[in-house]
């Protein structure tokens, strides 16, 4: 259900098509909820069936028609209820196939693990750059669209994402060091 409410939350800011919703997801909720475009479209259909949103087709000359979705009062109520009612367990379920492989590390060929942890570290560093970019964008759009009240909360979530990534990079450095020393001892 969280996908639905993430979408409803974004539709509170403004009306959007499925495509725009996906793009907005990618520059805001991306680091708290992953989703594929196909899932967005399917969910929009269901949301329309359940009157959480309405759609209107906007005819554009030469281009595709845009199907633009608006949140309904019913949708707003449902969102408001959801956002105020937190689940019992606040720790997010984890599904991380990288670290499972590390767990079974004695079955990984010697240099392969080092190589993959280095790659992991690089990807986390890139992710940090992405977050920094998103932070700037958030600040810009808060001013442009008069969403200064929202910005405070956006920045809270960005701060958390940053800390998480820094912890990953920190771990990767320590892990690489430990593996190097282990190799040395075993000579």
Residue ranges that bind a copy of itself, judged by CB under 8 A: 2, 5-6, 9, 12, 28-29, 31-34, 79-80, 82-84, 86-87, 89-109, 112, 116, 119-120, 123-124, 127, 149-150, 152-154, 156-157, 159-160, 163-164, 166-168, 170-171, 174-175, 178, 182
State yes or no: residue 41 binds DNA (CB under 7 A).
Answer: yes
Task: Output 43 or 127, the one with its CB closest to a copy of itself.
Answer: 127
The distance of closest approach from Cβ of residue 4 to DNA in the complex, given in angstroms and rounded to an integer, is 7
Structure tokens at 55: 């759609």
Enumerate residues 6+ apart whose C-beta is below 8 A from 172. Answer: 117, 118, 120, 121, 124
Regarding 17 and contact with DNA (CB under 7 A), the answer is yes
Q: Which does 89 bind (CB under 5 to 8 A by kind): a copy of itself, DNA, none?
A: a copy of itself
Nearer to DNA, 31 or 172 (CB): 31
Q: What are phi and psi of 17, to 5 degrees?
A: -85, 170
DSSP classification of residue 59: -
| Binding partner of residue 180 among DNA, a copy of itself, none, CB cut-off 5 to 8 Å per kind | none
Distance CA 101, CA 51 (A): 44
Give the CA angle between residues 75, 78, 80 to the nearest 5°. 105
DSSP SS3 for 16: strand
- Give which of 65, 52, 50 is closest to 5, Cα–Cα: 52
CB of residue 48 vs DNA: minimum separation in angstroms? 10
Say if residues 10 and 21 touch (Cβ distance below 8 Å).
yes
Applying CB under 7 A, does 82 fall inside the site for DNA?
no
Q: Are 25 and 6 a contacting pair, CB within 8 Å?
A: yes
Q: Which of 12, 14, 32, 39 binds DNA (CB under 7 A)?
A: 39
Q: Which stretch binds DNA (CB under 7 A): 62-70, 76-84, 138-146, 172-180?
A: 62-70
């Amino acid at each position: 259900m969280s996908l639905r409410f993430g979408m409803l939350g974004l539709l509170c800011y403004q009306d959007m098509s499925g495509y725009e919703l996906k793009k907005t997801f990618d520059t805001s909720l991306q680091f708290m909820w992953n989703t594929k475009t196909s899932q967005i479209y399917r969910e929009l259909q269901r949301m329309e069936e359940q009157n959480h949103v309405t759609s209107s087709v906007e005819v554009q000359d030469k281009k595709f028609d845009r199907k633009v979705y608006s949140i309904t009062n019913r949708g707003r109520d449902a969102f408001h209820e959801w956002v105020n009612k937190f689940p019992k367990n606040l720790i997010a379920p984890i599904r991380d196939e990288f670290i499972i492989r590390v767990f079974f590390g004695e079955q990984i060929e010697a240099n392969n693990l080092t190589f993959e942890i280095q790659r992991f570290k690089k990807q986390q560093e890139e992710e940090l750059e992405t977050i920094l970019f998103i932070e700037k964008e958030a600040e810009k759009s808060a001013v442009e669209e008069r969403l200064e009240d929202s910005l405070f909360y956006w920045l809270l979530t960005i701060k958390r994402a940053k800390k998480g990534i820094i912890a990953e990079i920190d771990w990767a450095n320590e892990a690489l060091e430990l593996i190097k020393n282990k190799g040395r001892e075993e000579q």
